[in-house]
Amino acid sequence: MKVVTRFAPSPTGYIHIGNVRSAIYPYLLAKQNAGKMILRIEDTDRERYVEGATELIEDTLEWLGLNWDEGPIIGGPHAPYFQSERKSIYHDYARRLIESGRAYADPTPSEEIAKYREKCSKEKIPFLYRNFRPENTPEWEPGIPLRFKAEPKEYAWHDEVMGDMHAGPEVLDDIILIKKDGYPTYNFAHIVDDAEMGVTHVMRGVEYLSSTPNYLALYEALNLERPKLVSLPHILAPTGNKKLGKRDGAKSVTEYRDDGVLAEAMLNYLACLGWNDGTEQEIYTKDQLIKNFSLERIQSSGARYDETKLLWYSGQWIRKIFDEQGVDVLYERTAGFWPEVADNFNNDYKRRVLSIIYDRLKTLSDLREMTAYFFAAPAIDIDMLLQNKFLKKLSEAELESTLKTVISELTKLEDWNADSLQNTLNNLLELTNKKPAELFSLIRIAVSFAPFSPALNLTLEVLGRDESLARLNSVARAI
Ligand code: GLU
């Protein structure tokens, strides 16, 4: 059987962390089985439609490397891939149901329906529209909602993640298939499209599980084969027990991209949120995810979103790219993330800065704050020196004389490189009779005035002789 999956977002806003995972698993399953993933835009709820949301969805998928095999932009044999352009297909299916007596036009005004609902709530009985089904119904024509004629019965089915499921007749109802505006509901449209597009695995959020019996009734009434159903558990908000949503500040995926989180890290983190391959492995490339993914190992309980963990992944991926592919490849990815003061510096210098700082970055945008002193002399902040926990015990005179010894030794250095700098720094420990934490903090702060920096000899090497000595001199004068 050829595997066909789909990601079927509604263009109602940006895609956030909580819903992009419904694209990752269908992608992995399709690729693993040399199948196809379809992107389908479910835009029949015209009231919730947001201009530009489709482009954001496409951008997000492209950034993550989740390339769809059929869908918007690239087309395919089941085009169009926007539900709003498929009205006539839904209407054909609707007519089939009318002909077989399984759908009816329902002109009942919504105020009337509200009354039925109220009556049930007063009597404390569940509201089922089929108990109020009108006796005589008109011919179906545009402007009149079309409803399914449900047959109360039991359903049993297997969900690939949730296991064997069962539901009684009380959940089956006369759901709306086509709305007043002529557009289908999600409930109807996705059944038709999944069948038309040959989808073999319907993977979506677990929120659709409770409606599944109604979907099963529709497959049956339309004589369609049931696809495999895969309910993906919620991604939970960082605290509490509710699903992560925009209201909990769930950021859009592209916001993380703009903050310099690597796409590989985002994909890796989200894929492992609620799935594991049974080992302790944490870092996976896309190819490894494709190879190791399995539906059986998707966990059925919710997985908690943890931004700190995402940033950990991002840092790991920065190191991985540097270590495995080299500084040039990582450097290519840093465009746009340097501080403004770096604009006038050449690529070679920036590459050298990157190669000593990369292992401290969590996101590429950390470059902005962490590297500014490589490009412009920092403002001298004597308090920062005096209040440093290692330097507090030293008098100002002691700091000044120590700096002078440092300057005079470094001035004598012939080869300004990491090794000879390290030798000089070691010799200075004896000459100044200071502890490493004292001496090195003093020099580090004097050249950077930053909370931390890469290894001191590397920092001095990259800054260069003239710049390093100039900065040390200015501080010695200012104390
Ligand atoms: N359009 C639905 C949503 O965005 C998709 C559900 C599905 O994948 O079938 O929630």
Choosing from 232, 261, 285, the residue where a domain stops is: 232
Q: Please state, in angstroms and rounded to a whole number, the distance separating the CA atoms of residues 343 and 421.
A: 28
CA 9–ligand 1 middle distance (angstroms): 5
The pTM is what? 0.94
- What is the spatial distance between Cα 317 and Cα 285, in angstroms, rounded to a whole number? 10
Instruction: Please check whether residue 101 is in contact with residue 40, taking contact to mean a CB–CB distance below 8 angstroms.
Output: no
For ligand 1, atom 2, name the residue with the nearest CA. 9
Find residue 231's DSSP bridge partners.
Answer: 204
Atom of ligand 1 nearest to the CA of 194: 9
Distance 166 CA to ligand 1 centre (A): 22
Catalytic position from the list 115, 246, 291, 392: 246
Measured from the Cα of 7, ligand 1's closest atom is 8
> How far is ligand 1, taken at its centre, from the CA of residue 8, in Å?
5
What's the pLDDT at 247? 78
Q: Give yes or no: residues 367 and 387 share one domain.
A: no
Q: Given the CA of residue 190, which atom of ligand 1 is nearest to it?
A: 9
Among candidate residues 56, 75, 60, the one with its CA nearest the CA of residue 23: 60
Ordered DSSP codes for 89-155: HHHHHHHHHHHTT-EEE----HHHHHHHHHHHHHHT----GGGG--SS-----TTS-EEE------E
Does a structural domain hold residue 216? yes
Q: Are residues 362 and 397 in the same domain?
A: no
Q: Is 42 among the domain residues?
A: no
Tell me whether residue 180 is one of the annotated catalytic residues.
Answer: no
Which atom of ligand 1 is closest in space to residue 42's alpha carbon?
1
Per-residue pLDDT in tens (0 to 9) along the chain, 479 residues: 799 999 999 999 888 888 899 999 999 999 999 999 999 999 999 899 999 999 999 999 999 999 999 999 999 999 999 999 999 999 999 999 999 999 999 999 999 999 999 999 999 999 999 999 999 999 999 899 999 999 999 999 999 999 999 999 999 999 999 999 999 999 999 999 999 999 999 999 999 999 999 999 999 999 999 999 999 999 999 888 888 987 777 789 999 999 999 999 999 999 999 999 999 999 999 999 999 999 999 999 999 999 999 999 999 999 999 999 999 999 999 999 999 999 999 999 999 999 999 999 999 999 999 999 999 999 999 999 999 999 999 999 999 999 999 999 999 999 999 999 999 999 999 999 999 999 999 999 999 999 889 999 999 999 999 999 999 999 999 98
Distances (CA, A) of 73 to 35, 37, 59, 115: 19, 14, 12, 46
* Same domain, yes or no: 181 and 269: no
Judge if 392 and 339 occupy the same domain: no
Q: Tokens 């260069």 — which residue? A: 464
Q: Give the dihedral sign, CA 274/278/279/280.
A: positive
Q: Among residues 353, 372, 391, which one ends one of the domains?
A: 372
Distance 432 CA to ligand 1 centre (A): 69
Q: Which residue is it, tokens 């002078």?
A: 404
CATH number of residue 463's parent domain: 1.10.10.350
Distance (angstroms) between ligand 1 centre and the Cα of 192 equals 14
Pocket of ligand 1 (CB under 6 A): 8-10, 42, 186, 190, 204
- Is 330 part of any domain? yes
Amino acid of residue 171: V
> For residue 280, what are its two tokens?
């302790």
Indicate whether 97 and 208 sit together in one domain. Answer: yes
Question: Residue 441: phi, psi to the nearest 5?
Answer: -65, -40
369 alpha carbon to ligand 1 midpoint, in Å? 40
Residue 41 inside a domain? The answer is no
Residues 361 and 449 in one domain: no
Residues 199, 4 contacting (CB under 8 angstroms):
yes
pLDDT at 229: 98
Among 20, 46, 186, 235, name the best residue to mutate to test ligand 1's pocket (greatest count of ligand atoms within 8 A of Cβ). Answer: 186
* 468 and 394 together in one domain: yes
Q: Are residues 343 and 420 in the same domain?
A: no
Q: How far, in Å, is the centroid of ligand 1 from the Cα of 38? A: 13
The predicted structure's pLDDT at residue 245: 84
Pocket test for ligand 1, best of 6, 12, 20, 22 (most atoms within 8 A of CB): 22
In a domain, 421, yes or no: yes
Atom of ligand 1 nearest to the CA of 22: 8
Instruction: Measure Cα distances from 19 to 303, 310, 453 in Å.
Output: 13, 16, 38
Distance 170 CA to ligand 1 centre (A): 24
467 within domain boundaries: yes
Peptide bond into 227 cis (omega under 30): no
Q: Which helix (H) or strand (E) holds 398?
A: helix 396-412
DSSP state, residue 69: S
Residue among 4, 5, 7, 10 whose CB has most ligand 1 atoms within 8 A, to mutate: 10
Within a domain: 109? yes
Do the domain assignments include residue 99? yes
Quick one: 187 and 267 in the same domain? no
The whole-number pLDDT of residue 18 equals: 81
Regarding whether 353 and 286 lie in a shared domain, the answer is yes
- The β-bridge partners of 39 are 7
Contact 183, 46 (CB under 8 A): yes
The domain spanning residue 329 has which CATH number?
1.10.1160.10
Q: What is the C-alpha separation between 317 and 322, in angstroms, rounded? A: 8
Ligand 1 probe mutation, 4, 6, 208, 228, most atoms within 8 A of CB? 208
Its domain, for residue 262, covers 253-296+304-372
- The verdict on 347 and 396 lying in the same domain is no
Q: What is the pLDDT of residue 250?
A: 79
Domain boundary among 352, 372, 392: 372
Does 93 share its domain with 223?
Answer: yes
Amino acid type, 55: E
| 41, 42, 43, 45 alpha-carbon torsion, rounded to 10° | -170
> Is 274 in contact with 233 (CB distance < 8 Å)?
yes
Structural domains in the chain (count): 3
The helix/strand/coil state of 206 is: helix
Tokens of 32: 């693993």
Residue 246: the pLDDT is 78
Please give the Cα distance from 285 to 268 (Å, whole number): 7
Which CATH number goes with the domain that contains 191? 3.40.50.620
